[in-house]
Amino acid sequence: MIPEHLNEWQAELNRLDASGSLRRLRTIQTDGSKTLVNGRPMLNLCSNDYLGFAQDRELQQKFFENCSESNALSHFGMGASSSRLLCGNHPPYQELEDDIEQAYGKPALFFNSGYHANLGILPVLAQKGDLILSDKLNHASITDGLRLSQADFLRYRHLDYEHLEKLLRKKRSQYKRVFIVTESVFSMDGDAANLPSLCKTAKVYGAFLYVDEAHSIGVRGERGLGLAEEQGVLNDIDLLVAPFGKAMASQGAFAVCHKTIKDYLINHMRPFIFTTALPPVTVSWNRFIFRHMLQAKEKRAELNRLERFARKCLNKTPFSSPSESNILPVIVGDNQQCVILAEHLQKMGFLALPVRPPTVPKGTARLRVSLTAQLKEEELDSFFNTLHSLAYENGLVNPSEQ
């Protein structure tokens, strides 16, 4: 190892630490809405387990009992042993994709993660001579996919569809294919896309619409199929991606699209072709939880009720949030102030972690409060009251503004 390189890297780590941007791993044990962080009990306000499936022991027991009855564990084992295109495409994969296709009415393709999906799909479909128009606040996995593609790409201002249409009017005739890419519910702001408007724009300009439902699958829509279901445009979206790692408490992701696109991805998408398949038992759990999610109307209703309650609580504090969902970012602004506030909250028993640039735009550091159906009103009331008090105690708000 060359010492000069270590010194350069350490200097960068020191700079991140001084600016309040250094990331650190935590050892976490979770039980319901409570969690142990480095041995300290806290209320978990940063989980993506939106419906509480990851901590539902009764549900997990039912799955393992079914595994035993069907002999799934002994029949398929714990590992896939190869990629799906070699000898890793075990029956649970096809069964899961069939269930997803039945729910969405379009062919489905399963991937190892949402990151794999977003990293691999656009570089395959969007080629040289094509243009990708991406919402400026799309997830990092989408951005990485843009960069790997040979297509040109531009970012339109966040949820600014007039800007998007302006770009289309100016650029559409210069390209063979144009792809519009958006999240449905945005992971850091918690606000939502107007999918009917995007569908209309895509149709007018002959563009391909790609929607990532990472933070709305399971949560939005009558059957939990996401914002596209809630807004009535499932049939109008060309390619929809959704992961199992958030509301469905598992691993992997899927895309629903035209059969030709599915077959094209199978033949050309590198993260699909060259990745060892997930263990069949994981895929079996995905099928089990997907079916359960479709019926989880009471969980969705409870989460929606808690969301309304939390927003009322937040409105009594000096902070604001752009949220339209159960992701409720508390905008602080300054990196160091956000870190200090998060540390004080943790000392008071609340795990609400700071999110800072480059994950979010400069000057918008925030506490990303993530609501799950396991939380209780009294817990949220206590958190927002504590947040309100700490804001003034630490000089984050001028007392005269109270």
CATH of the domain at 290: 3.40.640.10
Whether the predicted pLDDT of 147 surpasses 90: yes
284 and 190 fall within a common domain: yes
Provide the CATH number for the domain around residue 306: 3.90.1150.10
**pLDDT confidence of 107, banded at 50, 70, 90?**
very high
Q: Which of residues 259, 294, 329 is at a domain's end?
A: 294
pLDDT tens track for 212-264: 999 999 999 999 999 999 999 999 999 999 999 999 999 999 999 999 999 99
172 and 104 fall within a common domain: yes
pLDDT of residue 71: 59
Cβ contacts of 133 within 8 Å, gap of 6 or more: 153, 154, 155, 156, 164, 167, 168, 178, 179, 180, 181, 207
43 and 95 fall within a common domain: no
34 and 159 fall within a common domain: no
pLDDT of residue 359: 84
**pLDDT confidence of 399, banded at 50, 70, 90?**
very low
**pLDDT confidence of 76, banded at 50, 70, 90?**
low
**pLDDT confidence of 395, banded at 50, 70, 90?**
low
205 and 230 fall within a common domain: yes
208 and 274 fall within a common domain: yes
Ranking 2-6, 160-164, 268-272, 341-345 by mean pLDDT, the lowest is 2-6
Distance between CA 170 and CA 150 in Å, rounded?
20
179 and 321 fall within a common domain: no
Q: Which of residues 294, 312, 337 is at a domain's end?
A: 294
Mean confidence (pLDDT) of the chain? 91
pLDDT of residue 73: 61
**pLDDT confidence of 402, banded at 50, 70, 90?**
very low
Q: For 136-173, list the strands marked E by DSSP.
A: 152-156
158 and 253 fall within a common domain: yes
Query: Strand, coil or helix: what is 320?
Result: coil
Of 247 and 353, more confident: 247
Q: Which of residues 236, 269, 294 is at a domain's end?
A: 294
- Length of the chain measured in residues: 402
Of 334 and 68, more confident: 334
310 and 389 fall within a common domain: yes
Range of the domain at 182: 59-294
> How many domains does the chain contain in total?
2
Which whole number is the average pLDDT over 107-127? Answer: 97
Helices (H), 295-352: 297-315, 335-347
**pLDDT confidence of 37, banded at 50, 70, 90?**
confident
150 and 259 fall within a common domain: yes
365 and 270 fall within a common domain: no
144 and 111 fall within a common domain: yes
How many alpha carbons fall within 13 Å on the CB side of residue 298? Answer: 3
Cβ contacts of 197 within 8 Å, gap of 6 or more: 161
